[in-house]
Structure 1
Amino acid sequence: MFNEILGLIFILFNFAMLLTMYKLFGKTGLFAWVAIASIIANIQVTKTIEVIGLTATLGNSLYASTFLATDILNEKYGKKQAQKAVWLGFSSLLVLVLTMQFGVKFIPGESDFAQGSLETLFGLVPQIAIASMIAYLTSQHLDVIIFSFIKKIFPSDRQFWIRNNGSAVLSQLLDTLIFTGIAFYGVYSLDIWFQIFISTYVLKVIISFMDTPFGYLAKRITPLDEKKESL
């Protein structure tokens, strides 16, 4: 039960930090969160864990939080701002991949102790990052499009949960299929891959449902920079 309890705390922590960033820095904070969470999630995803009896990858809650961030941007600032955040997240991943490939190529000094760990960690990054970037661009843009479409049908504040969850369920399915199909091709046996696919999607959907109350809280938040502008 340790992983399950810690995982729940971690999910709530991530969403709380996202709202804190939004409160302090407004939509700029959401842009920053998308970039930060995208980078960290793609490092954490190299670690597998056992949760609810399934093999899963770490980083699901951080990655799922980027969808909440773009949904908040879409809800409060419009579709173009959400799409801008998507491209920012993509650019952050690209920078991570390129800079770390340079980093591991440098010949380490005699006193160095990190080279082996960096090679182990970031040796998988190109395949994982390529998978993540393709999945990210595809699923995030789909999420923005579906969210905007559903908003036209269910536009009221009380119906935010329909927009949030409806877009997440569909976009996360595509995201998980693309990501696990590319990132872990040849890395795990088919049965382990299938477990990772199912558990990853289930966890992402659960996390998406859990983020809904935080979405409603975000709708009530007036960022500090917007308060100053209104004075």
Structure 2
Amino acid sequence: MSTNLAQLDGVAGARRHFRYFDYVMAAFVAILLLSNLIGASKLATLGGFTFGAGILFFPVSYVIGDVLTEVYGYANARRCVWMGFAAMLFMAFMSYVVVAMPPAEGWDGQAAYESVFGSTWRIVAASVIAFWAGEFVNSFVLAKMKIWTKGKALWSRTIGSTFFGQAVDSLIFYPIAFLGIWTTEQVLTVMVTNWLLKVLWEALLTPVTYAVVGWLKRREGVEVFDEGTDFSPFAKANSV
């Protein structure tokens, strides 16, 4: 990255006002909600590989999560994770209320509506818990690796953080959501396949990540290193 960037520690990064942070956070939450709402519970098979259909878009939220931590620091990424967590809870509550409302006489779309939006409590709980744990692991690993690599080799920390973050996500989501509904073999197959595909997605999207990170850093004019940062998920919003 450019040597013209002003280096900030975790304290200054957490308290600084950034020009584009709100837009990145909005994209993060939007992709998170849409990928969980539309594709999480569908099994698909292509080329002999069976996987959850949501994998096509859900990893993009991890890419944006990497961008948030890399550009804005862990404290700001933590705010986005909690924002996404709250949005997912509201989405689950809204889906439950709307699906439970009695359909109007003559409206025959209830069954189809329930099949799309009527996720079981298991899928909802699995999605929320897996996202929360996986994203915090992802951000923590990336922030720590940035310090260890002295800001070099961005590819190593984006792929490395996804490797661990998505492993935690998959290990939590699939057993909670589908064990006992799918066969154990299906759960294990989809869990491992999706984890590997998500890491592969991250690797393939590395050029995009480099472009977005570089563009944002040049416009924000800073490089944030999370030295001295409080990595607790429960630290205050402006805390380090």
The reply to whether TM is greater than 0.5 is yes
Contact 1:54 1:195 in 2 (8 A): no
Q: Does 2:93 match 1:98? A: yes
In 2, Cα distance between equivalents of 1:123 and 1:186:
19
Q: Could you state the TM-score of these two structures normalised by the residue count of structure 1?
A: 0.81
Q: Could you state the TM-score of these two structures normalised by the residue count of structure 2?
A: 0.78
Contact 2:71 2:216 in 1 (8 A): no
Calculate percent identity across the aligned residue pairs: 25
Contact 1:72 1:219 in 2 (8 A): yes
Deviation, structure 1 residue 26: 2.3
- Work out the number of aligned pairs and report it: 202
Q: Does 2:137 match 1:142? A: yes
Q: Which amino acid aligns with 1:27?
A: F
In 1, Cα distance between equivalents of 2:174 and 2:69:
27
Deviation, structure 1 residue 188: 0.5
In 1, Cα distance between equivalents of 2:216 and 2:154:
18
Q: Does 2:44 match 1:41? A: no
- The aligned residue for residue 213 of structure 1 is 207
Q: 2:106 aligns with which of 98, 111, 114?
A: 111
User: SS at the partner of 1:196?
Assistant: helix
Deviation, structure 1 residue 218: 0.8
Task: Render the CA deviation track for 1:53-103: whole Å, top value 9, x for unaligned.
Answer: 121111113221111112111111111111111111111110110011000
In 1, Cα distance between equivalents of 2:89 and 2:213:
31
- The aligned residue for residue 26 of structure 1 is 20
Q: Quick check: which one's helix share is greater?
A: 1
In 2, Cα distance between equivalents of 1:226 and 1:138:
29
Runs (5+) with no aligned partner, structure 2: 1-18, 222-240
Contact 1:40 1:59 in 2 (8 A): no
Task: Render the CA deviation track for 1:125-168: whole Å, top value 9, x for unaligned.
Answer: 432121011111111111111111111111234x1001111111
Deviation, structure 1 residue 226: 6.1
- The aligned residue for residue 131 of structure 1 is 126
Deviation, structure 1 residue 194: 1.8
Q: 1:78 aligns with which of 73, 77, 91?
A: 73
Deviation, structure 1 residue 41: 1.4
1:115-194 matches, within 5 Å, as 115-157=110-152, 159-194=153-188
Which structure is larger by alpha-carbon Rg, 1 or 2? Answer: 2
* Structure 1 consecutive aligned stretches of length 4 or more whose deviation exceeds 6 Å: none
State the Cα RMSD in Å. 2.1
- The aligned residue for residue 3 of structure 2 is none
Runs (5+) with no aligned partner, structure 1: 1-24
